[in-house]
Copies of this chain bind each other. A is one copy, B any other.
Amino acid sequence: MRRIRLTVAYDGTNYHGWQVQQNGITIESELDRCLTELLGEPVEVIGASRTDSGVHALGNIAVFDTTARMPAEKFPYALNQRLPEDIRVQAAEEVPSDWSPRKAPSRKTYEYRIYRAQFPMPTKRLYSLFCYRSLNAAKMQEAARFLEGEHDFKSFCQSGAQVESTVRTLYKAEVREEGEDLVICVCGNGFLYNMVRIIVGTLLEVGQGKREPADVERILAAKDRGAAGPTAPPQGLTLIKYEFL
């Protein structure tokens, strides 16, 4: 058996997230369907990040095993002919048969985009959060700095999630302005369930003056989901890339 690694981009708008579900089409179920059709053998991919409904990706990672001899670099072309147009494989390569996208050490980069204006802009609605309130970007950046480094992010994890440890390292948490957009970029060795969206919901409260930047230190120390801000809506979030170390 050979193990093939795919880099997958998708628009999450019309999917029930990544993971196969009983009700509703998912990114994973579409990949499984197209690979099974293409290879004539049952295929189930393993994904690196199980993104939620409405969340997008430029480069999520999936692996699958196959006995087929098709050269790895042919898979993007063969799969993209079968996939719906809102899912596109960007790259494929062979990896060792014991390589796991969930266990391999990696840096993941996410961006969350906020469109600031008086009225929503239709062409941005699927890929950003609309915000008519004024936001203090400098204070948001100041707050984000407290998240950098190794911390117990339990306060930024959706309660009910089952994980062995809630300690993660953020290499970067940056707030930048791109015209009318405010982009929150986080890079880390791993993210808990809803962690980026809870970080964004908390930074938005800082930006609106409802919290002070230094509150982030107290939120981390509380290790309690109730201490952080709300979970920001999914459509502003995009998984930008995986880098394997």
Cβ of A10 under 8 Å from chain B: yes
Contact of A85 among B87, B89, B122, B238 (CB under 8 A): B122
Within the oligomer, what is the number of copies of this chain? 2
Give complex CA distance A87, B119 in Å.
Answer: 11
Selected from B56, B119, B123, the residue in CB contact (under 8 A) with A80 is B119
Cβ–Cβ < 8 Å partners of A150 in chain B: none
A114 contacts B by Cβ under 8 Å: no
A11 part of interface (Cβ distance < 8 Å): yes
Q: How large, as a class, is the contact surface on chain A? A: 20 to 34
Give the CA-CA distance A238 to B121 in the complex, in Å.
Answer: 13
| Contact among B9, B88, B118, B123 for A58, CB-based, below 8 A | B123
Interface residue? A90 (CB, 8 A): yes
A125: chain B residues at CB < 8 Å are 11, 85-86
Which of A76, A122, A123 counts the most B-chain CB atoms under 10 A from its CB? A122
A127 within 8 A of B: yes
Q: Is A120 an interface residue when CB atoms closer than 8 A count as contact?
A: yes
Please name the residue on chain B nearest to A80 by beta carbon. Answer: B119
Complex Cα spacing A87 to B123, Å = 9
Question: Chain B contacts of A11 at CB under 8 A?
Answer: 122-123, 125
Chain A residues in the interface with B (C-beta under 8 A): 9-11, 56, 58, 76, 80, 85-90, 118-123, 125-127, 238
Known A56-B122, A76-B118, A123-B238; further 17 A-B contacts with Cβ < 8 A = A9-B121, A11-B122, A11-B123, A11-B125, A58-B121, A76-B119, A80-B120, A85-B122, A85-B125, A86-B122, A87-B122, A88-B121, A89-B119, A90-B119, A90-B121, A123-B126, A123-B127
28 pairs, A vs B, C-beta closer than 8 Å: A9-B119, A9-B121, A9-B122, A9-B123, A11-B122, A11-B123, A11-B125, A56-B122, A56-B123, A58-B123, A76-B118, A76-B119, A80-B119, A80-B120, A85-B120, A85-B122, A85-B125, A86-B125, A88-B120, A88-B121, A88-B122, A89-B119, A90-B118, A90-B119, A90-B121, A123-B126, A123-B127, A123-B238
